[in-house]
Chains A and B, each alone.
Chain A
Amino acid sequence: MSAPGGKQASRASDQGPPALRPGALPRMRPAWFTLAAMAVAALPLVLRGDYALHLAVAIGINAIVVLGLNLLMGYAGQVSLGQAAFVGIGAYASAILGSKLDLSPWLGLLTGVGLSAVVAAMVGVPMLRLRGHYLAMGTLGFGMIVHIVMVQWEGLTTGTTGISSFAPLSIAGVKLDSEIRMYYLVAATCLVGLAMASNIINSRVGRAMRAVHTSEAAASTSGVDISRYKLQVFVISAGLAGLAGGLYAHHAGYVNPDSFGFGYSIQLLVMVVLGGMASVWGAVFGAGAVSLLAEYLRARQELSPVIFGLVLMAVMVFLPDGLWRGGSDLVARILGRRAQAEGG
């Protein structure tokens, strides 16, 4: 090969004509997203009664948290056993600002998001130096401490009494105090979150995060600032959790420490892992599946945790990639076998 002249052509990566095929760059297909958006918009027509809508809103709120947790765990490869703390911070921000300062509910919501993000940034700097189990236990300890503070700092949070005297959200004078209105707000937020999460994953930032997950050495020597990206994704997940917390406060109309303890952190973890950590759709699916299962079992009080635990263990043993991936693999295998039988 003759020595090329000029600075331009001498760069290794400038050789040869480009040929980028469509589909080479991954991204969420707009068709699926539009379909999902339409289904979500039409759902209330199918669901009957406030109870079903209430459940749908709860699922949506969980899904927002799980989206963030999915980014953190499935894509960036970190772990958080204390995510409930950030949800709680968001919820209490809305509740306290709404009841004590009579601030606009939207401002309270935004403050909750900002506060969660700031706390995550402060905690994340020392915390994310840990890895694996140590990070898991660090986040767990953090979550437990936040919960204990929520219970004990009665001056701020009224402790276990809870707060309920805050104004509901309203858009253009219309109060969002019914299930259907909250549903559309939460659903829209969820869809936006889904789109943004997917956009982040299929971008330079997302690739950097995913690189950190598999090989920190290769990532850093390729120019990725590992600490910075770990912190970024941690803060994003906390912000999303804070947002969900604010929405939760307005949906339930009442905020109390019981909702933000270790049990909820574990439930969120289960949603992420059960749904499958390798896809944003899996995350949302996991939120739905676990919420529905928990709700179904709640009515059958006696054995509900037993069955929940059994289901959890069984799914992890037989479908370690989670329900979403495992389920689609299973479907693919069944269809493949049928095609073979027909063709053979």
Chain B
Amino acid sequence: MTSSALVQFLISGITLGSIYAMIALGFALIYNATGIVNFAQGEFVTLGALAAISLSAAGWPMPVAVLAAVAAVTVLGAVLEWGAIRPARNASVITLIIITVGASILLRGVAMWLWGPDALPMRPFSGEDPISLGQASILPQHLWIMGIVLATMVTLRVLAEKTQVGKAMRACAVNREAARLVGIPAERMVRLAFALSGMLGGLAGAIIAPLAMGQYDMGIMLGLKGFAAAILGGIGNPFGAVLGGLLLGTLESLGAGLSPPGWSGYKDATAFAIMLVVLMAKPTGLLGRGGRS
């Protein structure tokens, strides 16, 4: 493989990985707060993408469209927690998982009902002309994605460390009962976790849409792979989620690029194969510390 091709694959890999990182972080937040896997995470991505597409097509300025779409999905995350998780909070883990599965089916249905089954395009944020890096080229949208994801991660990190709310969430993740004893409202932290996951998913959808288009069922694969990334990095560990996402995206992209002709269709299997290897070798993932059981 030529070096320019390698650079090309790396660029798309890191871009993809950034998206996976956002989705994986969403999984990690909810898992830390509740111990359950949110099967509707992928649908947050879908709805963020489709909402941004509609709003920008309706003439809204791009930044406003994106922010509005993300805000809407953030609220949706909180509503999901309020409507479906909170009432069933004492149920078994499998019941809660099924509830999120039901939510994902519901949201996918809503997406198809409102936007139809076809893929919808979206204008890139700042133009389509590639910027050349030597032999390779990078699209402005790639830079937007990497930049926005980086900024989001840094902001969240700062919030987690410096603010009361951030510290409270971290406390809940480590030991919920102790946190509650100290006066931290665990229930509110759960809702916050869902809202933040909604925000992360919605943002991921809005920024990937110009490259991948928006479609009612785009969330299924993205969600599953985001989850694979979370497992790879160590579910329950936010850094792990980000690391896992970047690693998975890069490996998937390189795998597709390096595979012999005719085998590229198997690229979707890369993510799951990696996940299985991690589960067999070290289920707690690269950076996992065991987390909640």
In the assembled complex, B3 has its CB within 8 A of some CB on chain A: no
In the assembled complex, B120 has its CB within 8 A of some CB on chain A: no
In the assembled complex, B67 has its CB within 8 A of some CB on chain A: no
In the assembled complex, A304 has its CB within 8 A of some CB on chain B: yes
Contact among B92, B112, B272 with A305 in the assembled complex (CB-CB below 8 Å): B112
Chain B nearest CB, measured from A263 CB (Å): 8
In the assembled complex, A141 has its CB within 8 A of some CB on chain B: yes
Residues of B within 8 A of A195 (CB): none
Residues of B within 8 A of A310 (CB): 102, 106
Q: Are B102 and A130 in contact (CB under 8 A)?
A: no
Residues of A within 8 A of B75 (CB): none
Residues of B within 8 A of A316 (CB): 88, 91, 95, 98-99, 102
Residues of B within 8 A of A136 (CB): 37, 97
In the assembled complex, B239 has its CB within 8 A of some CB on chain A: no
In the assembled complex, A204 has its CB within 8 A of some CB on chain B: no
In the assembled complex, B148 has its CB within 8 A of some CB on chain A: no
In the assembled complex, B103 has its CB within 8 A of some CB on chain A: yes
Q: Are B105 and A149 in contact (CB under 8 A)?
A: no
Q: List 9 A-B contacts (CB under 8 A).
A: A133-B37, A136-B37, A137-B279, A142-B276, A145-B276, A273-B94, A305-B106, A309-B103, A316-B91
Q: Is the interface of A mostly helix, strand, loop or mixed?
A: helix
Q: Are A140 and B91 in contact (CB under 8 A)?
A: no
Give the interface size bracket for B toward A: 35 or more
Give the interface size bracket for A toward B: 35 or more
Q: Are A134 and B283 in contact (CB under 8 A)?
A: yes
Binds A, one of B52-60, B190-198, B204-212, B223-231: B223-231
Q: Are A140 and B235 in contact (CB under 8 A)?
A: no
Give the CA-CA distance A142 to B228 in the complex, in Å.
12
Give the CA-CA distance A273 to B99 in the complex, in Å.
11
B86-113 to A contact mask, C-beta < 8 Å, 1/0: 0110011111011101111111111011
Residues of A within 8 A of B102 (CB): 270, 308-313, 316
Of the candidates A73, A130, A137, the one having the most CB atoms from chain B within 10 angstroms of its own CB is A137
Give the CA-CA distance A132 to B16 in the complex, in Å.
29
Residues of B within 8 A of A132 (CB): 93, 293
Q: Are A126 and B88 in contact (CB under 8 A)?
A: no
Give the CA-CA distance A304 to B110 in the complex, in Å.
10
Q: Are A317 and B279 in contact (CB under 8 A)?
A: no
A136-153 to B contact mask, C-beta < 8 Å, 1/0: 111011101100110110
Which partner residue on chain A sits nearest B281 by CB separation?
A: A126
Top 3 nearest A-B pairs (CB, nearest first) are A309-B106, A305-B109, A312-B102
Give the CA-CA distance A317 to B112 in the complex, in Å.
25
Q: Are A141 and B275 in contact (CB under 8 A)?
A: yes
Residues of A within 8 A of B104 (CB): 309
Residues of A within 8 A of B279 (CB): 130, 134, 137-138, 141
Q: With A273-B98, A308-B109 as given contacts, are A313 and B84 in contact (CB-CB < 8 Å)?
A: yes
In the assembled complex, B220 has its CB within 8 A of some CB on chain A: yes
Q: Are B109 and A306 in contact (CB under 8 A)?
A: yes
Give the CA-CA distance A163 to B280 in the complex, in Å.
34
Contact among B87, B95, B107, B280 with A273 in the assembled complex (CB-CB below 8 Å): B95
In the complex, which residues 125-180 of chain A have their Cβ closer than 8 Å to any Cβ of chain B? 126-127, 130, 132-134, 136-138, 140-142, 144-145, 148-149, 151-152
Q: With A130-B283, A145-B273, A273-B95 as given contacts, are A302 and B113 in contact (CB-CB < 8 Å)?
A: yes
In the assembled complex, B266 has its CB within 8 A of some CB on chain A: yes
Give the CA-CA distance A140 to B39 in the complex, in Å.
12
Residues of A within 8 A of B283 (CB): 130, 134
Q: Are B224 and A144 in contact (CB under 8 A)?
A: yes
In the assembled complex, B268 has its CB within 8 A of some CB on chain A: yes
In the assembled complex, A234 has its CB within 8 A of some CB on chain B: no
Chain A nearest CB, measured from B168 CB (Å): 24
A268-285 to B contact mask, C-beta < 8 Å, 1/0: 011001100000000000
Q: Are A304 and B109 in contact (CB under 8 A)?
A: yes
In the assembled complex, B265 has its CB within 8 A of some CB on chain A: yes
Given A138-B279, A308-B105, A316-B95; 15 other pairs, CB 8 A cutoff: A126-B280, A132-B293, A148-B272, A149-B269, A152-B265, A270-B98, A302-B113, A306-B113, A309-B107, A310-B106, A312-B98, A312-B106, A313-B99, A316-B102, A320-B95
Give the CA-CA distance A79 to B87 in the complex, in Å.
24
Contact among B109, B269, B273, B293 with A309 in the assembled complex (CB-CB below 8 Å): B109
Give the CA-CA distance A304 to B113 in the complex, in Å.
10
Residues of B within 8 A of A145 (CB): 269, 272-273, 276
Residues of A within 8 A of B95 (CB): 273, 316, 320
Residues of B within 8 A of A270 (CB): 98, 101-102
In the complex, which residues 166-217 of chain B have their Cβ closer than 8 Å to any Cβ of chain A? none
Residues of A within 8 A of B108 (CB): 305, 309
